Amino acid sequence: MESGSHLSNHKRIPEEPLRKSATFWFDDGNVILQAQQTQFRVHRSMLVRHSTVWKDMFAVLQPEGKSGSENDCPVVHLSDRASDVEHVMAIFYDNLKTFKLKERIQFSQLSAMLRMGHKYQIKHLCDAVMKILRKDFPQSLDLWDVANLAYQFSLKTIMPSAYLAYIATTNLKTILSDASLHPGARTAAILGRDQLSRWMHFTKEITRSQFAASKVRGDCQDHRKCAAGREMIFLGLSLWDDDDGHLTRLVPLADANGFAICISCSAALRKTHEYIRSGAWSLLPDFFDVSPQWADLKDFEM
């Protein structure tokens, strides 16, 4: 009696009913892909055209008109997210509609392309994602998303710059407490952040003595004006850590001629800034423990 009473307190949660995709359910489709509780009735020839994995799978698949099919159309159960399948089918069937060239791609679409492309060996999807990421991280993306993506899929050619972009906009406390960040990516970000910070502090002191602290520069055109301004301008460069714990993103110097120093000192400032910036950039793969140098970086192979 007690046992029956105990069981009655644990009501079974009803399973979500199957739903047909509103966009990708074709009456003449000859295979149904089911991801989570969403079904997509599509064309086997379309899948085979793009994916070697699906091509091999359909070569051995025996269609059966039983409980696993609808009107003799085989149902293939996928472990992928329904939203990922939706994104990829949109690329297969509605290419030009999906990619609006004047608009930035959404991260959900970008990550779906990479997940599905990697899993099903759809090379052109992976290539498209890498082209976008190498060109520039879309401004709408959360940088931890990019860092996670780079780590999870071993995108080594963008790992250093992805980690740099993340730590440059995130203080150490946030990095440590960010539950959404992959543990491996977190470790790389923390260690790389520490190494970059120490290198920048060391380089700052050396270049400060060479550029800023020097009382008289041989090529200076206005010693009285520039002697006071050089150090103040140097210490105010965006290369150095700011008060909230963010690090530099190593952006180029905007306009050295806009500072209150002579043309010669402005040129020296520009040269010094680029020397520090390029030096730090060349060491990023080593700082984040990705590879000793940029030339050795390679992404996953398909």
Look at residue 163 and tell me if it is in a domain: no
Q: 235, 228, 220: which is closest to 268 by C-alpha?
A: 220
Domain end (from 141, 156, 177): 141
pLDDT digits (tens, 9 = 90+) for 43-92: 999 999 999 898 988 888 765 444 445 567 889 999 999 999 999 999 89
Q: Are strands 19-25 and 38-42 parallel, antiparallel or unpaired?
A: parallel
**Residue-wise pLDDT tens digits, 157-170:** 888 888 898 888 88
Q: How far is Cα 248 from Cα 252, in angstroms, rounded to an integer? A: 11
pLDDT at 125 over 80: yes
User: Does residue 36 carry a pLDDT above 70?
Assistant: yes
90 assigned to some structural domain: yes
Q: State yes or no: pLDDT of 301 exceeds 60.
A: no
Is 291 within 8 Å of 284 (Cβ atoms)?
no
Same domain for 130 and 227, yes or no, is: no
Is 256 within the bounds of a domain? yes
Structural domain count of the chain:
2
pLDDT at 183 over 80: yes
Q: Are residues 207 and 110 in the same domain?
A: no
Domain of 273, in residue numbers: 191-287
User: Which among 78, 109, 141 is the end of a domain?
Assistant: 141
Same-domain status, 201 and 131: no
Question: Does 186 fall in a domain?
Answer: no
The pLDDT of 98-108, averaged and rounded, is: 63
Q: Are residues 131 and 23 in the same domain?
A: yes
Asked if residue 135 and residue 197 are part of one domain, the reply reads: no
User: Residue 180 domain-assigned?
Assistant: no
Are both 128 and 205 inside the same structural domain? no
- Structural domain includes residue 96: yes
* pLDDT tens for each residue of 232-249: 888 888 787 665 667 787
Residue 174 lies inside a defined structural domain of this protein: no
Q: Is residue 138 scored above 70 in pLDDT?
A: no
User: Do residues 120 and 195 share a domain?
Assistant: no
Spatial contact of 159 and 279, defined as CB atoms under 8 Å apart? no
Alpha carbons within 13 angstroms on the beta-carbon side of residue 194 total 7
pLDDT > 90? residue 23: yes
Q: pLDDT at residue 269 above 60?
A: yes
| Domain contains 52 | yes
Residue 32, domain CATH: 3.30.710.10
